[in-house]
Structure 1
Amino acid sequence: MKVVKNIHNNISLCIDSKGNEVVAFGKGIGFMKPPYEVPIQKVERTFYNINPIYIDMLSQIPEEAINVSSQIIDYANKNLKGSFNENLIFTLADHITFSIKRLQENIHLDLPLIHEVKHMYPKEIQIGEYALKLIKEKLNVELPKQEAAVITLHVVDYGLKSCISTGESNQEKIERCTQIIEEYNGLKIDREGFNYSRFVSHMYYLLDRIANNTEVKTKNKKIFDQLVKEYPKTYDCAKKACRALEINPNDEELLYLILHINRLSSREEKQ
């Protein structure tokens, strides 16, 4: 394997024997001046199909944050029995670095409620909670508890490779649902926006939970009834979308769908 660019002491951009570009991790592989051949036994792990934007960004991220991010995604793959996109390791490392910088500079942001994220993603929240413990252990930084929710949403938003690559029918359903929301509310949704990305991620997981009969079940009946009264139009839109998708989610799942549609619609109307 040929090293063509050093990113950190233990991380380099390489070209493999087939001419493919790959980010390689290995102890000391980034010490020598490129180009040079690195023995394959010195390479501990490799990442293919990395977005060039992230390759340029890597040199600005501390190597310790990249290693922590790598361990977090390894934990996620093992415990959720999935396969996350390789780019996620580097975007998460960037997020962790930025979160630590905010803390050090005493910059406070409104973070999502961890209880809400726990209800929406009861399994995935374990990733965020594990991440905070690992960051404290490896980087000696104690981030706010709410950061567990932010990290969870970051992982969910960037998603599982298996969900995105094999879920053609789900993609079509989500697009149909999006069109219904647009037609019902008379607006055009920005499909490149963050809120839409979060909505899509939620829909993938919702469809997966319904297919596997593992819907979220908590005691939020009062909140659901209140939302229906406050946002009757959004509730009607959500019900229309569910009928079109031939799904019948329980009130708890419908509650979160209403929240997502309301957030998506209100943000688009303001633009």
Structure 2
Amino acid sequence: MKIIKVLNNNVAIVHDRSGHEQVVSGRGLTFGKRPGDEIASTNISQTFTLQPEATVQLTQLVAEIPYPYLQVTGQIIDHAKQTGISLHRGAALTLADHLFTAVKRAKAGEVVPNVMLWDTQRFYPREYAVGQAALTMVKAQLNVSLPPDEAGFIAFHLVNAESGSARSDAAKITQLMQEMVNIVRFHFHFEPDPTTPDYCRFITHLKFFAQRLLRGEPMATVDEELLRLIMRRYQAPAACAQKISAFLSNRHGYQVTPAECGYLTLHIERLVYRAQAQ
């Protein structure tokens, strides 16, 4: 890779083999180097792919973040990927910036409560587990103890990055999921067990359901006869699904398709009645 601009001793803007601009980092990566020099890919620890409209701002940001934060961020991202979390390329930079700010707050004795911590633990257990591991890495690499609430904030960054877009809908998705779970709880006077596979399937369905609502992407159509059979066979879950549909329409203006309502009915039936049968 050929250096376009040296940002500091550890970071540079380069042209990759396709001629695209990237920001790369590595300890001492650019020490003694100038624009036009080559960088061996084996010396690069992290690569940041920037959107053209935000290149100037993000390039300045990555240049201002001390290298140890980029290093620990790389470890967190690698750990997340090892657990099966797929992240877009901009995830590392936004997370590094968050860690840099979080450590400054911790050193200043400032604590920011995470009002969505409980929901994050419940709806995104895999991402939250990575957040907890991240606190251990930060302590080991930077010798700073971040408060437990930060595990939730880091988890939310990962949830945001999974969407593949710069603009995050994670908070809205979590709100919708919480509202739908509450309707099921009150409709059946039922407290789901978050440790069961059926609960995990239900939460996963709600997550993608909420994403489709926000993006205006309706689920593919389902055979009408099959939908009628579902609604007739599972009347109580169907009534709950229709209650959720009405709530989403009245409160948020979302229109739930019959196919979505049918699939939601099946997930509610599995969650509620399997639990009661055990």
TM-score scaled by length of structure 2: 0.61
Tell me the distance in 2 between the aligned counterparts of 1:149 and 1:242: 31
Superposed, 1:1-271 pairs within 5 Å as: 1-45=1-45, 47=47, 49-51=49-51, 52=55, 53-80=57-84, 82-161=85-164, 196-200=169-173, 214-216=201-203, 236-238=246-248, 243-244=256-257, 245-246=260-261, 247-248=263-264, 249-250=267-268
Question: CA 1:48 to 1:60, structure 2 compared with 1: closer, same or farther past 3 Å?
Answer: closer
- CA deviations 1:112-150 (Å, max 9, x no partner) are 353331111122111100110100010000000111011
Tell me the distance in 2 between the aligned counterparts of 1:18 and 1:75: 28
Secondary structure at the aligned position of 2:134 is classed as helix
Secondary structure at the aligned position of 1:19 is classed as coil
Runs of 4+ with >6 A deviation = 201-204
Gaps of 5+ in 2: 181-196, 205-242, 272-278
Tell me the distance in 1 between the aligned counterparts of 2:174 and 2:87: 13
Identity across the alignment (%): 24
Question: CA 1:92 to 1:213, structure 2 compared with 1: closer, same or farther past 3 Å?
Answer: closer
| Residues 65, 96 of structure 1: 8 Å contact kept | yes
Gaps of 5+ in 1: 165-191, 218-232, 254-271
Q: Which amino acid aligns with 2:151?
A: A
Larger Cα-atom Rg: 2
- CA deviations 1:60-84 (Å, max 9, x no partner) are 111111111111111111102x431
Tell me the distance in 2 between the aligned counterparts of 1:107 and 1:26: 31
Counterpart of 1:176 in structure 2 is: none
| Residues 129, 148 of structure 1: 8 Å contact kept | yes
| Residues 8, 63 of structure 1: 8 Å contact kept | no
Tell me the distance in 1 between the aligned counterparts of 2:65 and 2:154: 17
